[in-house]
Amino acid sequence: MKSEEFIDIIDFLRNCDLAYAFKKKRLRYIQLATVSREIKNLRDGFFWIWNREGGRYRLKDPWISRKSIDILAGLFGKVDEAAALLDIDLAIVDLDRKRFRQFLDARVSSGRGRRHLYDLYCGEGESMRTLATLRVPYLQRYIPTMSKFDIDDVNSLLLDEADLESLMHIASRFHDIEMNLSRDMDIYPQFMRDFRRMYREGATVDIVGYGEISTVMRLSRKGWIGNAVDVVSDDSQWIWKKMPPFPSIEEVLRYEESYKDYRTILVTEIGIDVPEQEIRHFRHGSYYVVYAGQKRMDEGNICNKVIHHLDEENACQLLKLVLDRLQRVHKFNEGPGGVRVGFDAQLSNWVFSPAEKTMDRVGPEDSLTYIDTSSPLIRINGMEQINTEIFIKSAASFLRPLIRIFFLKDVVDRYYDIRRVVIDVIANMHKEQCVGLIDRFIETANDFFVTTGIDMKPITRGEIDGYYSSDAFIWKFYQSARIIDRFITEKLLRKKYIFRIPGPIAR
């Protein structure tokens, strides 16, 4: 079904959003009343603060304070808002649950997600519907009295016997009403947050690339629910990296904490721009799947693509921008505090943002944004904050013990060594088919070390070529081993191979 076929559901949710803004304000007055001594007097000593005039009642002023009068007006006044609350509660109670389930079936792909949303809305336990069912009789009884509070001077308020009974009824059930609204205000935001996240219309998943340990994906949706509960178009604003499987929720939470801390350190402590990011995890049988999300940036501005449009001089200026950010990382790592960060500075991990909107010239005023934060390497007093086993999870099962013993530590250590990081940046010019830039890049990097006072042995062309030759061989062997591992897993063991293997990469 198209979204137009569920326009009544969308309208209902939009009205919910408005009504719950009123509920939030009403709950605030109730909570103020709970801690106000004057309101306790209103409840516990009703006849001490009201004058009886024939068959009607008027507040005794000055027995009640201005603050309490404001609270009274907030509690019992604004009848239009109260009527809106009653209308939405009736709509929640009366909404066709079968049709609502059909709507979720059509717009939420996850079966578990659909059950979760349905239970929050109209489950048999505590849900929006069960709470609304309890509120409706109260509101229907109180609204006639509430209408009398919509006057400029509450001291001129006159109530009759029926109003008195309603007020006493409210006072006797005040705690229950507060708890009902409070729970409703907990459940509704959770419902809408999860609903917005899971809603999709015509969704597709596109694989846009592969990392060394992850698959990079983009979720494309023809429509999604915006903040105003409208179906709007989606330009696939997020990129998601599917990480290797995690064996326990403890490992997931450990990774998620490092993922957030890593960005915070880069942005606030070091001064490197990083896009907005999110993280999601889901249980999948015996393991957990983690998606590291990042606000999508213009793929055409990724530096390993930009460099193909630059002359040699401007390519070296681009490298200088990268080296400047690396120097900031190096300075942070050499500083006090015992905190160090690992960093992968290759050009494919940077997005170029020219100050003058031209892509063929690079200057010191141009900016770079770092996009490779899904391997959050942080050491505190020499202790790695994530479990580095994540780096070998996607390797062929029969190679993992060897990698763990002979290679893992050295591979991780190189991201903390600025010289080895720069060698990796320059060596990747082989992969980018920009071999002609290597000598100038070596010269630029060595000059940069001298200029910035970084005590570093000069890089040589032999190191670059030897490093890349070794790296290319290891990568080719690594990928071939994964193909063999997939064959063994699927054809011989008859099990599902849970990793994606990229196609041939030009090197």
Q: Catalogue the long-range contacts made by 271-275 (C-beta closer than 8 Å, 24 or more residues apart).
A: 271/328, 272/325, 272/328, 272/329, 272/368, 272/370, 273/367, 273/368, 273/369, 273/370, 274/369, 274/370, 274/371, 274/373, 275/369, 275/371
Most confident of 105-109, 165-169, 293-297: 293-297
Is the confidence at residue 12, as pLDDT, over 80? yes
The rounded distance, in Å, linking the Cα atoms of 170 and 162 is 12
Identify the residue with better confidence: 498 or 401: 401
pLDDT, mean of residues 393-397:
85
Whole-number CA gyration radius for the chain: 31
Residue listed under structure tokens 């000069």 = 458
pLDDT at 62: 45
The torsion angle over the Cα atoms of residues 120, 126, 128 and 131, rounded to 10 degrees, is 180
- Displacement of CA 480 from its chain's centroid (Å): 35
pLDDT at 107: 83
pLDDT at 480: 86
Among candidate residues 108, 99, 98, the one with its CA nearest the CA of residue 224:
108
The rounded distance, in Å, linking the Cα atoms of 326 and 323 is 5
Sheet architecture: strand order including 287-295? 204-210, 215-220, 238-242, 287-295, 277-284
Q: Is 466 helix (H, G, I), strand (E, B) or coil?
A: helix
pLDDT at 235: 46
Q: Is 1 helix (H, G, I), strand (E, B) or coil?
A: coil
Give per-residue pLDDT as tens, 163-210: 778 777 777 777 888 888 889 989 988 888 888 777 766 556 566 665
Ranking 254-258, 288-292, 311-315, 344-348 by mean pLDDT, the lowest is 288-292
pLDDT at 64: 55
Identify the residue with better confidence: 273 or 125: 273
Is pTM, for the whole model, over 0.85?
no
Q: How far are the Cα atoms of 119, 210, 387 from residue 347, in angstroms, in the given order?
A: 47, 15, 26
The rounded distance, in Å, linking the Cα atoms of 301 and 322 is 14
In the DSSP assignment, the letter for residue 108 is B
The rounded distance, in Å, linking the Cα atoms of 295 and 275 is 6
Give per-residue pLDDT as tens, 420-460: 999 999 999 999 999 999 999 999 999 999 999 999 899 99
Q: In the structure encoding, which two tokens stand for residue 468, read together? A: 């890349």
**Mean pLDDT, the chain, whole residue set:** 83
- pLDDT above 70 covers what percent of the chain? 82
Q: How far are the Cα atoms of 58, 396, 405, 407, 484 from residue 399, in angstroms, in the given order?
A: 85, 5, 10, 11, 11
Angle between helices 7-35 and 97-107 (to 10 degrees): 110
- The residue ranges of every structural domain in the chain are 7-198, 238-492
Is the confidence at residue 279, as pLDDT, over 50? yes
Give per-residue pLDDT as tens, 146-171: 777 766 666 677 778 787 787 777 77
Give per-residue pLDDT as tens, 314-367: 999 999 999 999 999 999 999 998 999 999 999 999 999 998 878 889 999 999
**Secondary structure (DSSP) of 358-405:** -SS---TT-EEEE---SS--EEETTEESS-GGGGTTTS-TTTHHHIII
All residues at 6 or more sequence positions from 72 whose CB lies less than 8 Å from its CB, including other chains: 39, 42, 64, 149, 154
